[in-house]
Amino acid sequence: MSQTPVLDALTRAGTGVPEPEPERVRHRFLFSPWHLVLIPVAVTMILPLVWMVVTSLQTLDETRHYPPTFWPSSLEFGNYSEVLTQAPFGRWFVNSLIVTVLVVLGNLLFCSLAGYAFARIRFFGREVVFVLLLITLMVPFQVIIIPEFLIVRSLGLIDSLGALILPNLAGAFGVFMLRQFFRTLPIELEEAARIDGCTRLGVLFKIVLPLSGPALATLAVITFLWTWNDFLWPLITIYSPEHMTLQLGLATFQGAHQTNTNLLMAANVMTVLPVLLLFLFAQRYFVRGIATSGLKG
């Protein structure tokens, strides 16, 4: 019996591994009427993105064309290099990458430690502190942004990547999620390890974490997605172009190039592409992560 039936179901949902169905249906395998429903849905989802790519390869005049042209007469890949000269996209990409990777690693480490403590170690004040953490989960972001800004400013971190990294190195969500997961593991394994001479830290790193692959991957993905796409917090704390994240930079680019639609679309494609590729490559973890972030409620 799986330890994580819900996570497994979500994984199946994400990877498209089909569930068993009554065999009668298989006779319509070659042409199922469901295709007639699914094709328009898929098209609606994908069409805006496809058109974004098409536009990114057009000349400025072509974008001004109405009715819109779908096939550009020439593939203006130059738009992309133009964008890179107009704005430090490379720099923004690197900034986002640094911030995201550090935040993900920080969460994995600190939330594992704390999650394990809350799950398995009886310590003074554990229940009270845990409730306090849950409270922070319930209070929405807009309530805390102003004071958080003031705190970060008093630490001298405004307009630096530190402002984006430090406050997010550990989140209550990660602690909560890993605590719940650790509790589903059979405690006998850890007890056997301790009898065999392992320290608490050793148990965590040698026994528990190796068994927590799916949960850690899920947390990594959620954190990655949330951090990479974050906009409001960088908007408040960063103002010099060389420290901007990709989303913030893209927004300023949009402000400056509102009428250069082809360049704007090229910039957009470049922003979307990395996450899209990562998603296609690791779809099952993304799906699990997205859904788990919801199931905590």
- Indicate the residue among 101 and 277 with the shorter CB distance to other proteins: 277
Contact between 136 and other proteins by CB under 8 A: the answer reads yes
Contact between 102 and other proteins by CB under 8 A: the answer reads no
Peptide bond into 5 cis (omega under 30): no
User: Assign residue 122 a region: left if phi > 0, alpha if psi is -120 to 50, beta otherwise?
Assistant: beta
- x/- mask, other proteins, residues 114-133, rule CB under 8 A, reads x-xxx--xxxx-x--x--xx
Alpha-carbon span 133 to 138, nearest angstrom: 9
- x/- mask, other proteins, residues 44-73, rule CB under 8 A, reads xxxxxx-xx--x-------xxxxxx-----
Q: Which of residues 196-255 bind other proteins (CB under 8 A)?
A: 200, 204, 225, 228-229, 231-232, 235-236, 247, 250-251, 254
* Contacting range for other proteins; rule: CB under 8 A; set: 7-15, 78-86, 182-190, 212-220: 7-15
Among 60, 101, 146, 256, binds other proteins (CB under 8 A): 146
Task: Give the interface size with other proteins as a residue count (CB under 8 A).
Answer: 113
Helix extents (H) in the chain = 5-15, 34-56, 60-63, 78-86, 89-120, 126-138, 141-154, 161-165, 172-184, 187-195, 200-202, 213-229, 232-237, 246-256, 261-281, 283-295
Contact between 105 and other proteins by CB under 8 A: the answer reads no
